[in-house]
Amino acid sequence: MCEPLGTVQELEARMGRPFVDELEKRQAAAAIADASDIVRAYGSPLWGCDEHGRKARTPPAVKAVTLAMTERRMRNPENFVSEGAGEYQYRYAEQGSNGFAPSKQEIMLIEKLANKYGVRTLDVVRAVAINSRRTFPYDETVTDVIDAENSS
């Protein structure tokens, strides 16, 4: 079972105001759950989940991204870019009008925290010669040769 990657109380603290009624609290909880699912889709599906009785480690920045996405959704549910009433005009930054969609920077951070890109290394168990070339690691005692050109 996976838990949301943030709480309603944490979202209230970030927004700087308490939610006034149960409807708004339920909407916030649903938005946090949705944002958590989106973050898991980009990152690790195990973040915030119990696996075999152990809770998977979730980096703190994952919670920050999840709550930032949720805050954008709660502040601007219709994804408006600007609004006006009479002489009053207000304009959101373009990035603030994308609702739940994580920004490119957020996606890069999530992928980095999930180790989804970068250089990987594998341990070499034993040296194997391929097509009579020197093996890696270079070992003169290797007798196993895999001849890919003449194998059937």
Per-residue model confidence as pLDDT tens digits over 6-41 = 999 999 999 999 999 999 999 999 999 999 999 999
What is the pLDDT, as a whole number, of residue 68? 93
| pLDDT digit string, tens, across residues 75-123 | 877 777 777 888 888 776 666 566 678 988 999 999 999 988 766 666 6
> Higher confidence at residue 24 or residue 146?
24
What is the pLDDT, as a whole number, of residue 80? 73
What is the pLDDT, as a whole number, of residue 77? 75
What is the pLDDT, as a whole number, of residue 95? 62
Give the alpha-carbon dihedral of 55, 56, 58, 63, to 10 degrees. Answer: -50
Domain ranges of the chain: 8-113, 121-152
Residues whose CB is less than 8 angstroms from the CB of residue 107 and which lie 6 or more positions away in sequence, other chains included: 42
Residue 73 above 80 pLDDT?
yes
Q: How far apart are CA 57 and CA 63, in angstroms?
A: 12
Residue 131 above 70 pLDDT?
no
Q: How many CB atoms lie within 10 A of CB 81?
A: 12
Confidence of residue 125 (pLDDT cuts 50, 70, 90): low
Residues whose CB is less than 8 angstroms from the CB of residue 72 and which lie 6 or more positions away in sequence, other chains included: 96, 98, 99, 100
Q: How far apart are CA 64 and CA 6, in angstroms?
A: 8
Enter the pTM of the model.
Answer: 0.69
Give the alpha-carbon dihedral of 95, 100, 101, 105, to 10 degrees. Answer: 60
Answer yes or no: are the C-beta atoms of 64 and 6 closer than 8 Å: no
> Higher confidence at residue 116 or residue 63?
63
Summarize the confidence of residues 61-87 as an average pLDDT.
86
What is the pLDDT, as a whole number, of residue 79? 72
Answer yes or no: are the C-beta atoms of 22 and 92 closer than 8 Å: no
Q: How far apart are CA 108 and CA 102, in angstroms?
A: 10
